[in-house]
Amino acid sequence: MAVEVYLNFSGNCREAVEYYADVFETERPKFMTFGESPQNPEFPLPEEAKDLIMHTRLVISGSTVMFSDTFPGMPFVEGNNISLAVVSDSKEELTKYWDKLKQDGVVEMELQETFWTEYYGSLKDKYGIGWQFNLGQ
């Protein structure tokens, strides 16, 4: 299991990640855009979201740091654009921590299957800290 940092940007994620990759001399990042994700015809993807970064990661000095752009219309406050990601190969472990943190917290997305993993969810704990839970890498 790992707890990893997740940074959000307001449309300039690609630029920032390429900059960090150069600064820390890391492997070139692989980018997944919102436009590359499976589309739901009931909720068409806005044109301005298609090229925004949905997810990427860098390994910086042995630590994984993950990045994405915020989706158009989602709130973005510079300085509050960070969350912690709990990454585990154990569904039971994720559920145990999830159940404790969601008490007095606010669930943003229930633990559920997504197109990238069979188990993902996000919440803000009672102190306002953002957490993401992801099964596997």
Burial 37-63 (b: 16+ CB within 10 A, else e): beeeeeeebeeebeebbbbbbbeeeee
> φ and ψ at 5, to 5 degrees?
-85, 140
pLDDT value at 137 more than 70: no
pTM score of the predicted model: 0.75
Sketch out the chain's domains with CATH numbers.
Answer: 1-76 (3.10.180.10), 78-136 (3.30.720.110)
CB distance 5 to 84 below 8 Å: yes
**pLDDT for the residue numbered 66:** 94
CB distance 17 to 33 below 8 Å: no
The residues facing 5 across adjacent strands are: 65, 84
d(CA 11, CA 48): 10
Query: What six digits make up the tokens of 63?
Result: 């630590």
Mean pLDDT of 106-123: 94
How much of the chain exceeds pLDDT 70, in percent?
A: 99
According to DSSP, residue 43 is labeled B
* pLDDT tens profile 15-30: 999 999 998 899 999 9
